[in-house]
């Protein structure tokens, strides 16, 4: 059984923010919400490292565990999705997520939150695939079209990989062998635990 | 003597009423953890087919392998 995973190779990421732009453009993500962002560690210092971060679609997703209305579900291949019709915007998932993935549009005055929004691995949500309703609420459903997340597909340095975890691991293993360095698969242990 | 009894009964009644206010239901609202309650995603059925999985693997090999 294929297990979908993201991996960001910090040795290759050049902080171009192309993945962030591609995601926002593909899904028409509103202002103030970033499903993906690039984080730079030790910015400005020689040897700085950048990583592209979004929902990692965890094996045992903490967001799903804490949701009081059980609006999360996981597909057979491990993509964690949610139903915005059930979400009450409580923010519990934001506090539980180790990657800061859940985002909330500020819809009203006094900081009232809207429905939670996060990376869907380009797999949409419960409405019919690529229906107007799905595109409006969750963005495009590329997985239903046989495509993979756009952020990874258009990454110019192939730093960001998304797909079957075994295939992703094979590519990364080859890179590590060539470089002769230690693997730094950022976030993998936290997200996939024994499934790494 | 009678007034003492009446006062005692009154005090008892007040104490019972006051203590009754301290009581609360000990049964919290519990949700069933992990049971998704929304609509079924049509992608789940579509994506369970071997053809769909193969298409994604081909796509990965085409677009994400190292150059």
- Chain B positions with Cβ closer than 8 Å to A: 31-44, 46-48, 52-53, 55-57, 59-61, 63-67
Burial of A134 (0-12, 13-18, 19+ CB in 10 A): buried
Which of the pair, A196 or A185, is modelled with greater confidence? A185
The verdict on a CB contact (< 8 Å) between A163 and B44 is no
Q: Residue A9 phi/psi, 5° resolution?
A: -85, 105
H-type helices in chain B, by residue range?
2-20, 42-47, 50-63
Q: What confidence score (pLDDT) does residue B21 get? A: 75
For chain A, what is the mean pLDDT?
A: 90
Could you tell me the CATH number of the domain that includes residue A62? Answer: 3.30.70.20
Q: How many CA atoms lie within 13 A of A108 on its CB side?
A: 6
Buried b (16+ CB within 10 A) or exposed e, B40-62: ebbbbeebeeeebbebbbebbee
Number of domains in chain A: 1
Helix (H) or strand (E) holding A18: helix A18-27
Category of A21 on φ-ψ map: left (φ > 0), alpha (ψ -120 to 50) or beta? alpha
Q: What confidence score (pLDDT) does residue A185 get? A: 76
Name which of A126, A44, A48 is nearest A84 in CA terms.
A126
Q: What confidence score (pLDDT) does residue A157 get? A: 93
Strands A80-82 and A72-74: antiparallel
**Each residue's pLDDT tens digit, A124-145:** 999 999 999 999 999 999 999 9
Q: What confidence score (pLDDT) does residue A134 get? A: 94
The whole-number average pLDDT for the span A71-95 is: 92
Residues A148 and B63 sit within 8 Å (Cβ to Cβ): yes
Structure tokens at A79: 């993509």
The whole-number average pLDDT for the span A61-72 is: 91
Structure tokens at A166: 């075994």
Its domain, for residue A191, covers 4-195
Q: What confidence score (pLDDT) does residue B31 get? A: 54
How close does chain B come to A146, measured CA to CA in Å? 5
For chain B, what is the mean pLDDT?
A: 82
Category of A136 on φ-ψ map: left (φ > 0), alpha (ψ -120 to 50) or beta? alpha
Of A71, A129, A148, the CB nearest to B43: A129
The whole-number average pLDDT for the span A45-70 is: 92
Q: What confidence score (pLDDT) does residue B12 get? A: 92
Residues of chain A neighbouring B60 (CB-CB closer than 8 A): 148, 163-164, 167
**Each residue's pLDDT tens digit, A86-101:** 999 999 999 999 999 9
Helix (H) or strand (E) holding A8: strand A4-8
Q: Going residue by residue through chain B, which has 67 residues, state the pLDDT in tens, using 9 for 90 and above.
A: 788 899 999 999 998 888 877 776 666 655 556 688 889 999 988 888 888 889 999 999 988 887 6
């Amino acid at each position: 059984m294929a297990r979908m995973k993201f991996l960001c190779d910090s040795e290759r990421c050049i902080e171009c923010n192309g993945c962030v732009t591609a995601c926002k453009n593909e899904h028409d993500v509103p202002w103030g919400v970033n499903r993906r962002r690039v984080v730079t560690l030790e910015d400005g210092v020689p040897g700085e490292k950048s990583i592209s971060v979004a929902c990692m679609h965890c094996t045992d997703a903490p967001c799903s565990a804490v949701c009081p209305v059980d609006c999360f579900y996981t597909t057979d291949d491990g993509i964690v999705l949610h139903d915005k019709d059930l979400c009450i915007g409580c923010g519990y998932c934001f506090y539980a997520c180790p990657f800061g993935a859940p985002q909330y549009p500020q819809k009203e005055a006094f900081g009232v939150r809207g429905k939670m929004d996060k990376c869907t691995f380009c797999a949409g949500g419960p409405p019919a695939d690529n229906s107007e309703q799905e595109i409006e609420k969750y963005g495009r459903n590329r997985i239903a079209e046989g495509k993979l997340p756009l952020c990874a597909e258009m990454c110019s340095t192939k730093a960001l990989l998304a797909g079957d975890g075994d295939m992703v691991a094979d590519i990364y293993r080859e890179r590590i062998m060539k470089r002769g360095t230690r693997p730094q698969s950022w976030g993998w242990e936290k997200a996939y635990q024994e499934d790494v | 003597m009678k007034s003492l009894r009446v006062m005692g009964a009154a005090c008892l009644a007040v104490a019972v009423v006051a203590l009754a206010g301290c009581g609360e239901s000990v049964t919290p609202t519990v949700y069933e953890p992990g049971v998704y309650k929304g609509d079924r995603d049509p992608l789940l059925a579509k994506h369970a087919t071997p053809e769909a999985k193969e298409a994604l693997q081909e796509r990965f090999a085409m677009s994400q392998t190292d150059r």
